């Protein structure tokens, strides 16, 4: 009898070690996310973490500025298919390549749905300089808030 772990037919894991490794990867609160959040918070901005920008959309943004309608995503290079850093896997490549392609399609769909609802979508790769990401987020939120105030003043 073979007691060595074997992945079930059609499984995403090529080995028990790979399975443990993939399950340990964080889907939120990654180091780049935490650093960018800390920098944005230090600028006095407040936001929701891992929140749904739209209640009927079962997708969460890494940072949500509801009043400004700004959704921020910090995408991992592997999971979201970074053109600079994505390297297709050597094992179970069909499954993982399709998974990343589905993630990329979902990202585009999310962007489209949020933009249609009047949101600004900011996407950053995990390898981008955190200070630059934080500065761009702060600038966009400030601009959106100023535009909203101006529009509100013109109504009255």
CA gap 56, 103 in Å, rounded: 19
Q: What is the CATH number of the domain that holds 147?
A: 3.40.960.10
**Is residue 5, in this structure, part of any structural domain at all?**
no
**Is residue 1, in this structure, part of any structural domain at all?**
no
Is the alpha carbon torsion for 131, 133, 139, 142 positive or negative?
Answer: negative
Helix axis angle for 31-42 and 130-155, nearest 10°, is: 50
**Is residue 4, in this structure, part of any structural domain at all?**
no
Per-residue pLDDT, 118: 97
CA gap 19, 150 in Å, rounded: 52
Per-residue pLDDT, 11: 54
Q: What is the pLDDT of residues 36-86, one digit of tens each?
A: 999 999 999 999 999 999 999 999 999 999 999 999 999 999 999 999 999
The sheet carrying 70-75 orders its strands as: 48-51, 61-65, 70-75, 120-125
3-state secondary structure 65-79: ECCCCEEEEEECCCC
CA gap 113, 5 in Å, rounded: 42
Q: What is the pLDDT of residues 105-123, one digit of tens each?
A: 999 999 999 999 999 999 9
Range of the domain at 139: 17-155
**Is residue 9, in this structure, part of any structural domain at all?**
no
CA gap 153, 62 in Å, rounded: 31
- The terminus-to-terminus CA distance of the chain in angstroms comes to 80
Whole-model pTM above 0.85? no
**Is residue 22, in this structure, part of any structural domain at all?**
yes
CA gap 1, 36 in Å, rounded: 51
The structural domain count of the chain equals 1
CA gap 32, 49 in Å, rounded: 14
**Tokens representing residue 99 in the block:** 């998974």
Contact between 53 and 63 under an 8 Å Cβ cutoff? The reply is no
Per-residue pLDDT, 5: 44
């Amino acid at each position: 009898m073979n007691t060595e772990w074997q992945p079930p037919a059609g499984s995403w894991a090529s080995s028990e070690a790979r399975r443990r490794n993939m399950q340990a990867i964080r889907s939120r609160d990654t180091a780049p996310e935490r650093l960018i959040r800390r920098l944005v918070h230090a600028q006095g901005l407040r936001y929701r973490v891992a929140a749904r920008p739209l209640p009927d959309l079962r997708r969460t943004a890494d940072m949500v500025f509801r009043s400004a309608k700004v959704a921020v995503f910090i995408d991992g290079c592997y999971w979201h298919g970074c053109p600079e850093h994505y390297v297709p896997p050597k094992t179970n490549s069909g499954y993982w390549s399709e998974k990343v392609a589905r993630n990329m399609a979902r990202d585009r769909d999310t962007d489209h749905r949020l933009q249609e609802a009047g949101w600004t979508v900011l996407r950053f790769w995990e390898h981008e300089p955190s200070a630059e990401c934080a500065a761009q987020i702060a600038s966009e939120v400030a601009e959106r808030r100023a535009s909203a105030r101006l529009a509100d003043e013109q109504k009255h």
